[in-house]
Amino acid sequence: MAQGCIFCRIVEGESPARKVYEDEAVVAFHDIAPQAPVHVLVIPRKHIPSVLELEESDAPLVWAIHRAIREVAQRTGIAESGLRVVTNCGKDGHQTVFHLHYHVLGGRGLGWPPG
């Protein structure tokens, strides 16, 4: 657990979250400020600051994240209509929480390119 990390606190159950899915490696919960009708964050339980810090030994975790994304899409009813998976990284990527997370967005047509 990383000191002062809000997502570590959610993993530990010390901060509330509206969970959609969880397993031994991953937790998924609704974003507190949704940008689409469905906006869920999928995070590893392990504190990894961003996608740039993933290592080869995290390969099973990468699979677990993708498995959870599919599960979230099915549970929230957007698997058929479509979705977008985004991980922001660093300043220009507009990352604000430095615990790896994947935004799962859907429930409306999403613009491209992103802003």
Catalytic residues: 101
3 binds ligand AMP (CB under 6 A): no
> How many angstroms separate the CA atoms of 36 and 19, rounded?
17
3-state secondary structure of 81: coil
Residue of the chain from 47, 51, 79, 88 that contacts ligand AMP (CB under 6 A) = 88
> How many angstroms separate the CA atoms of 10 and 17, rounded?
7
94 binds ligand AMP (CB under 6 A): yes
Tokens of 79: 């698997």
Contact segment (CB under 6 A) with ligand AMP among 20-28, 52-60, 62-70, 94-102 equals 94-102
Judged by beta carbon, residue 25 or residue 49, the one nearer ligand AMP is 49
1 binds ligand AMP (CB under 6 A): no
Tokens of 25: 């490696």
14 binds ligand AMP (CB under 6 A): no
86: region left, alpha or beta (phi > 0 left; psi from -120 to 50 alpha): beta
> How many angstroms separate the CA atoms of 62 and 53, rounded?
12
Judged by beta carbon, residue 57 or residue 69, the one nearer ligand AMP is 69
50 binds ligand AMP (CB under 6 A): no
Q: Report whether 58 contacts 68 (CB < 8 A).
A: no
Residues that bind ligand AMP in the complex, under the rule CB under 6 A: 6, 15, 17, 31-33, 41, 88, 94-97
